[in-house]
Amino acid sequence: MWDRNTVEAKATRMRGDIVEMIATAGSGHPGGSLSAADIVATLYFGDVLRHDPANPSWPARDRFILSKGHAAPVLYSALAEAGYFGRDHLATLRKLGSILQGHPDSKKTPGVEVSTGSLGQGLSISCGLAAGLRGGELPENVTDDRTVFCLLGDGELQEGQVWEAAMFAAHENLGNLVAIVDHNGLQIDGACTEVMCLGTVADKFRAFDWNVTEVDGHDLDQVRDALLAAKAYSAGPSVVIAHTIKGKGVSFMEGEAGWHGKAPSPEQVAAALIELNVIEGSQA
Amino acid sequence: MSKKATREALGATLVELASEGVDVVAVEADLSKSTTTNKLADAYPERFFNVGIAEANMIDVAAGLAVAGKIPFTGSFAVFGVGRAYDQIRNTVCYSGLNVKLTPTHAGITVGPDGGSHQMIEDLALTRVLPGMRVLVPADFNAAKAAIRCAAETPGPFYVRLGRATLPEVYPEGVEWELGKANVLREGTDVTIVACGVMVAEALIAADILAEQCVSAEVIDAATIKPIDAETLIASAKKTGHVVTCEEHSIIGGLGSAVAEVLGENAPVPMKRVGVNDVFGTSGDPDELMEHFGLTGIHIANAAGALLRR
């Protein structure tokens, strides 16, 4: 059942995790993890994604593919919060022997469906997955509305392969595919408009015959409504373009391209956690 | 016996596997008539996906289908289906250890008139370096059917090298692929010729030429390039003391390199690699190109003779 306060609390806790994990690791990508926190929290804790942490390979589950794999910390925090593995693992991010690699690794991390990290590939993988699930047989007597959710970055849309996948999804009428664009407007080298202008993302997807919705990616009600409507839409692929703020929730990171891939100092972690009203060291 | 190309085994074997209830699917990039995946499309349209001219998408759609439990085989030409989509093969298929079978066709210089842009002679180097990848190079149509069947039945990523040129029959119909096993096709005592693919028939011709010169050549079809059959190679090298490798591929990174890696560490003997000598291909008829690049039986025999006189 949907409880707005619970999802909001999860998102805040995940933001604290992200800041602490990356600081402990000494490297990582806070900006794009924080911008996606509300989206991922809504998926996992807002009764959108059908999943069972006790049974990661449950055949009837929906699938989540993090195409923007550098935002791994937001996924790891959600998976730990959901119970796929213990929260004690979060402090091992990027360390030798950890189940939590710098980018998602399906061979090492329970709940990660496929390895990602090389940008532009997740939507193609999601297309194949959606096509493969369609018409499949489920052991239980559940309605087969299994949906593949794929979270992309906006800078990632510069990869040509994304549009190969966009064509394929429409051509194959993949009604069980929902893409989500974390549209925070920034990439490593600066603003997307300056590095390589994306134009109007919604228009581009409409031109590829997708069902398009735009939301405020930090308004949990809007995000949830759009995701559920997209899941219910079966005539073809849907995309939810979530307008977000890079670094959202940590004021000195917000809107700063420099926080794309940089670890905060201990002082910055303390300031961030006070702002988030999360107790330091809570990740353990 | 009718001469057939190894590419013709792709569609034929996929249809057989589908009819047996094996959950194979094909993902093609607009070359279904050339690769023969159109055979599967005709017989089982629901098992066929054409992504259009989009090789990167082809590999990752196959990856997604594998995650969904299917056994996907990918099409296109080797130069695109391996070369253009290499990051997808490395980072998604192999890094995730997915059950994807790379079966593009038109590998090697025997593609012919299309020229160097379309003649993939780096594919063995690119694929065998990837952790978890198995690399098979069938020598004829019957071996190609066996290789495709082996790939379908064995979990994990595979690359099966398939070609456009028609080839003489080396193996009988119904032959089975022994994964990781090299086949000693002819026993000899003076020199070992290790070949794969198109070059196996040429190696047998070379052995005949050498026999006329009273040189006893052992001919080995390496067949599985990865995992390579070190045991068979070491035993033969110790027996003959001389090894010639031959491949329709760059002499860098392919069969010759793989054999040198094994023998260098275990049974160092004088060696000569016959292959495309660090140049790109060029337009011409396949037979002309085999001669042009020095890949025919007489060239292999001459290389063996020079090695024995060294």
In chain B, % of residues over pLDDT 70: 99
Predicted confidence (pLDDT) per residue in B19-48, tens digit: 999 999 999 999 999 999 999 999 999 999
Domain stop point among B141, B167, B193: B167
Q: Are A197 and A190 in contact (CB under 8 A)?
A: no
For residue B53, the enclosing domain spans 4-167
Decide if A133 and B68 are in contact by the 8 Å CB cutoff.
yes
Are residues B60 and A115, on separate chains, in Cβ contact within 8 Å?
no
From B16, B28, B55, B202, the catalytic residue: B55
Q: Which of chain B's residues have a Cβ under 8 Å away from the Cβ of A168?
A: 51-52, 54, 57, 61
Query: Does residue B172 form part of some domain?
Result: no
Q: What is the pLDDT of residue A284?
A: 43
B289 and B160 share one domain: no
Cα torsion for A269, A271, A276, A280, to the nearest 10°?
50
Q: What is the pLDDT of residue A141?
A: 63
Place of tokens 């047996």: B20
Q: How many structural domains are present in chain B?
A: 2
Is B60 in the same domain as B155? yes
**Residue B54 falls within a domain, yes or no?**
yes
On chain A, the residues whose CB falls within 8 A of the CB of B51 are 164, 168
Residue B119 contacts residue B280 (beta carbons within 8 Å): yes
Which residues of A have a CB under 8 Å from any CB of B?
Answer: 63, 105-107, 113-118, 120-121, 124-133, 135-136, 160-161, 164-165, 167-168, 172
Q: What pLDDT sits at residue A228?
A: 98
Q: Is the pLDDT of residue B2 over 80?
A: no
Residue type, A242: A
Taking CB atoms and an 8 Å cutoff, what residues of chain A touch B61?
124-125, 127-128, 131, 165, 168
Residues in chain B closer than 8 A to A129 (CB atoms): 64-65, 67-68
Same domain, B15 and B75: yes
Given B132, B167, B202, the domain boundary residue is: B167
Q: Do B88 and A107 touch (CB under 8 A)?
A: no
Mutation target to probe the B interface, by most B beta carbons within 10 A, among A161, A171, A174 is A161
Same domain? B285 vs B146: no
Of A115, A124, A168, the CB nearest to B96: A115
Average model confidence (pLDDT) for chain A?
A: 95
- Residue A252, Cβ neighbours under 10 Å: how many? 12
Give the orientation angle of helix B230-240 with respect to helix B255-266, to 10 degrees: 70
Residues B129 and B221 in one domain: no
The reply to whether B127 and B258 lie within a common domain is no
**Yes or no, beta carbons of B60 and A167 under 8 Å apart:** no
Contact B7, B37 (CB under 8 A): no
Q: What is the dihedral angle through the alpha carbons of B286, B288, B292, B293, rounded to the nearest 10 degrees?
A: 20
Query: Are B161 and B263 in the same domain?
Result: no
Residue A11: strand, helix, or coil: helix
> Do B156 and B48 share a structural domain?
yes
Q: Contact at 8 Å (CB) between A99 and A108? A: yes
Q: How confident is the model at residue A160 (pLDDT cuts 50, 70, 90)?
A: very high
Q: Which of B181, B187, B225, B208 is nearest to B301 (CA)?
A: B208
Count CA atoms closer than 13 A to A234's CA, side-chain side: 5
Residues in CB range of A175: below 8 A, 6 or more apart: A233, A234, A235, A236, A237
Query: In this structure, are B96 and B130 located in the same domain?
Result: yes
With beta carbons less than 8 A apart as the criterion, state whether A247 and A74 touch.
no
DSSP E strands in chain A: the ranges are 63-66, 148-153, 177-183, 186-187, 190-191, 211-216, 238-243
Contacts of A146 in chain B (CB under 8 A): none
- In angstroms, the CA A78 to CA A96 distance is 22
Residue A283, pLDDT above cutoff 60: no
Mean pLDDT, to the nearest integer, of B170-199? Answer: 98
| Amino acid A282: pLDDT | 55
pLDDT digits (tens, 9 = 90+) for A184-195: 999 999 999 999
Regarding whether B8 and B113 lie in a shared domain, the answer is yes
How many other CB atoms are there within 10 angstroms of residue A142's CB atom? 11
The 3 state secondary structure assigned to chain B is CCCEECCHHHHHHHHHHHHCCCCEEEEECCCHHHHCCHHHHHHCHHHEEECCCCHHHHHHHHHHHHHCCCEEEECCEHHHHHHHCHHHHHHHHHCCCCCCEECCECECHHHCCCCHHHCECCHHHHHHCCCCCEEECCCCHHHHHHHHHHHHHCCCCEEECCCCCEECCCCCCCCCCCCCCCEEEECCCCEEEEECCCHHHHHHHHHHHHHHCCCCEEEEECCEEECCCHHHHHHHHHHHCCEEEEEEEECCCCHHHHHHHHHHHHCCCCEEEEEECCCCCCCCCHHHHHHHCCCCHHHHHHHHHHHHHC
The answer to whether position B193 is within a domain reads yes
Res A113 pLDDT > 60? yes
Instruction: Give the mean model confidence (pLDDT) for residues B118-124.
Output: 98
Our answer to whether residue B55 is catalytic in this structure is yes
The confidence score (pLDDT) of residue A273 equals: 95
- Cis-peptide, bond into residue B157, ω within 30° of zero: no
Q: Do B61 and A121 touch (CB under 8 A)?
A: no
Say yes or no to pLDDT of B142 above 70. Answer: yes
CB contact (8 A) between residue A128 and residue B52: no
Q: What is the pLDDT of residue B174?
A: 97
Q: Is A208 helix (H, G, I), strand (E, B) or coil?
A: coil
Q: Is the dihedral of CA A50, A52, A56, A59 positive or negative?
A: negative
User: Would the pLDDT of A260 be above 90?
Assistant: yes
Nearest to B181 by CA among B143, B134, B224: B224
Looking at the structure, tell me whether residues B270 and B192 fall in a common domain: yes
Residue of B nearest to A103 (CA): B91
pLDDT of B214-237, one tens digit each?
999 999 999 999 999 999 999 999
Instruction: For domain A4-276, give the CATH superfamily.
Output: Thiamin diphosphate (ThDP)-binding fold, Pyr/PP domains (3.40.50.970)
Asked, for residue B71, whether it belongs to a domain, the answer is yes
Q: Where are the domains of chain A?
A: 4-276
- For residue range A146-159, list pLDDT tens digits in order: 999 999 999 999 99
**Residue A213, strand partner residues:** A240
pTM (two decimals): 0.96
Q: Please tell me the predicted confidence (pLDDT) of residue A279.
A: 66
Beta-carbon contacts below 8 Å between A and B: 104
**Interchain contact, B61 vs A127, CB within 8 Å:** yes
